[in-house]
């Protein structure tokens, strides 16, 4: 990253097996101080296991886990300077809000007369002032979520682990909480490691994302990077609709390389995207980067990539029109055309031949390799 910030959590060669199943397979990660870091992947990809190993609830079979430079492998959870917000919140139902939040302070033998003040301040921070005496059962899902946050944050841990904490909330509340969490993290300056299977959530909140699949890390990087330049086919498709086309690498053309598609059409991709001596590649472009026009109606801007296709399906979804277009080499490409409301251009209808154009810069090349690059 080159920011010169301290590494808070380092995983080196960490492997975890459950019987014959390799849940986490030799992963390496550096998470920096104050970072909002997300582990993103489908269920069963090993992201929760990774989080639980950092928290101390599981011990790795191989590899080292460092917290602030010290190896913590083998240490039980209560001896680690991390706190967790559990997916089910795991609030203690026999205690009220005050006693829940004060639980960690009491375990650390904080002086009795300091506890009420600290609890009050943290409850104000999570926007639940004067909730001390409430019973857990009297709280809504969103409020329970905040209490769980407060209970963890009041201990001022070095790292806060969050295991899909917004999963149980409805969509609207979830959106609001995403922004709030991000703001809160900024305020307290604590490193957050956030586990989610929701790519939009990860992109909204994170400084960096590690995309995981089958116990391995496919790519690590800031949201824009993993979205705009996915390293693997899996990352490309997991972080949103991606349109992948097969092609053969041709000669260089300035900062670009020419790629010949199966259909014979030629497109250009950034030269930096081509690794080494690869000949046969998969290239992709995000649906919102493509402009669609009836064939011949508009000439593509100079230097833009252009391919032809036939509209299979057109769907109006309000903010945009979504087209499924069959290209000449037999792929189906998704195009989002923003609903600008201008009536000069008649939207293409199914069956029509169209030209798809996009800027070469917006083309990415994915590796077809199994497993993943570390991306660092």
Binding mask 166-205 for another protein (x = CB under 8 A): -xx--------------------------x-x--------
DSSP per residue, 196-246: ES-HHHHHHH-SEEEEEETTEEEEEE-HHHHHHS-SBHHHHHHTS--EEEE
Tell me which of 11, 119, 128, 144 binds another protein, using CB under 8 A.
144
By CB under 8 A, the count of residues binding another protein is 46
Residue entry with tokens 């069956």: 351
Q: How far is the CB of 155 from another protein (least distance, A)?
A: 7
Q: How far is the CB of 87 from another protein (least distance, A)?
A: 6
Of 148-156, 276-284, 343-351, 355-363, the window that binds another protein (rule: CB under 8 A) is 148-156
Of 8-16, 151-159, 172-180, 261-269, the window that binds another protein (rule: CB under 8 A) is 151-159
Binding mask 311-330 for another protein (x = CB under 8 A): --------------------
Binding mask 68-97 for another protein (x = CB under 8 A): --------xxx---xxx-xxxxxxxxx---
* CA dist., res. 137 & res. 182, Å (int): 27
With left for phi above 0 and alpha for psi between -120 and 50, is residue 210 left, alpha or beta? Answer: beta
> With DSSP H G I counted as helix, E B as strand and the rest as coil, what are the percentages for the chain, rounded to 5?
25, 35, 40
Binding mask 16-55 for another protein (x = CB under 8 A): -----------------------x-x-xxxxxxx-x---x
Of 40 and 333, CB closest to another protein: 40
Handedness of CA 298, 303, 305, 308 (dihedral sign): positive
Of 41 and 309, CB closest to another protein: 41
Residue entry with tokens 């944050």: 153
Q: How far is the CB of 183 from another protein (least distance, A)?
A: 24
> What are the Cα distances from residue 296, in Å, to 260, 287, 340, 352?
22, 21, 21, 12
Residue entry with tokens 């706190």: 83
* CA dist., res. 63 & res. 190, Å (int): 25
Of 104-112, 117-125, 201-209, 308-316, the window that binds another protein (rule: CB under 8 A) is 104-112
Of 28-36, 129-137, 228-236, 352-360, the window that binds another protein (rule: CB under 8 A) is 129-137
- Contact, 370 vs 213, CB < 8 A? no
Site for another protein in 291-310 (CB under 8 A): none
Q: What are 22's two structure tokens?
A: 């390799």
Q: How far is the CB of 175 from another protein (least distance, A)?
A: 18
Q: How far apart are the first and last CA of the chain?
A: 8
Site for another protein in 248-277 (CB under 8 A): none
Q: How far is the CB of 8 from another protein (least distance, A)?
A: 17
Residue 60 binds another protein, judged by CB under 8 A: no
DSSP per residue, 244-276: EEEEEEEEEETTEEEEEETTS-EEEEEGGGS-T
- Residues binding another protein (CB under 8 A): 39, 41, 43-49, 51, 55-57, 76-78, 82-84, 86-94, 103-104, 107-108, 135-137, 141, 144, 151-152, 155, 163-164, 167-168, 195, 197
């Amino acid at each position: 990253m080159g920011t010169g910030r301290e590494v808070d959590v380092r995983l080196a060669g960490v492997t975890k097996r459950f019987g014959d199943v390799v849940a986490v397979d030799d992963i390496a990660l550096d998470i920096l101080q104050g970072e909002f870091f997300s582990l993103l992947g489908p269920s069963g990809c090993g992201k929760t296991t990774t989080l639980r190993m950092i928290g101390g609830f599981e011990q790795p079979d191989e590899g080292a886990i460092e917290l602030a430079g010290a190896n913590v492998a083998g240490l039980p959870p209560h001896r680690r300077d991390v706190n967790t917000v559990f997916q089910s919140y795991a609030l203690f139902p026999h205690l009220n809000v005050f006693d829940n939040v004060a639980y960690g302070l009491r375990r650390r033998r904080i002086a009795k007369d300091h506890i009420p003040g600290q609890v009050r301040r943290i409850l104000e921070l999570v926007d639940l002032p004067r909730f001390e005496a409430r019973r857990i059962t009297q709280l809504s899902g969103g409020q329970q979520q905040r209490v769980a946050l407060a209970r963890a944050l009041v201990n001022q841990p070095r790292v806060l682990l969050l295991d899909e904490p917004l999963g149980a909330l409805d969509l609207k509340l979830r959106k609001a909480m995403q922004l709030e969490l991000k703001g809160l993290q900024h305020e307290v300056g604590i490193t957050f490691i956030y586990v989610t299977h929701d790519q939009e959530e990860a992109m909204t909140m994170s400084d960096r994302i590690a995309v995981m699949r089958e116990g391995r890390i496919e790519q690590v990087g800031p949201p824009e990077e993993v979205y705009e330049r996915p390293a693997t086919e899996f990352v490309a498709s997991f972080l949103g609709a991606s349109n992948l086309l097969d092609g053969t690498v041709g000669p260089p053309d300035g900062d670009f390389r020419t790629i010949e598609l199966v259909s014979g059409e030629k497109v250009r991709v950034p030269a930096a995207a081509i690794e080494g001596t690869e000949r046969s590649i998969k290239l992709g472009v995000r649906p919102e980067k493509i402009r669609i026009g009836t064939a011949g109606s508009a000439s593509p801007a100079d230097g833009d990539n252009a391919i032809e296709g036939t509209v299979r399906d057109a769907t109006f979804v309000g903010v945009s029109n979504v087209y499924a277009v069959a290209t000449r080499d037999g792929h189906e490409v998704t195009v989002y055309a923003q609903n600008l409301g201008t009536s000069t251009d008649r939207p293409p209808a199914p069956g029509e031949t169209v030209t798809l154009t996009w800027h070469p810069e917006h083309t990415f090349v994915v590796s077809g390799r199994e497993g993943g690059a570390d991306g660092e």
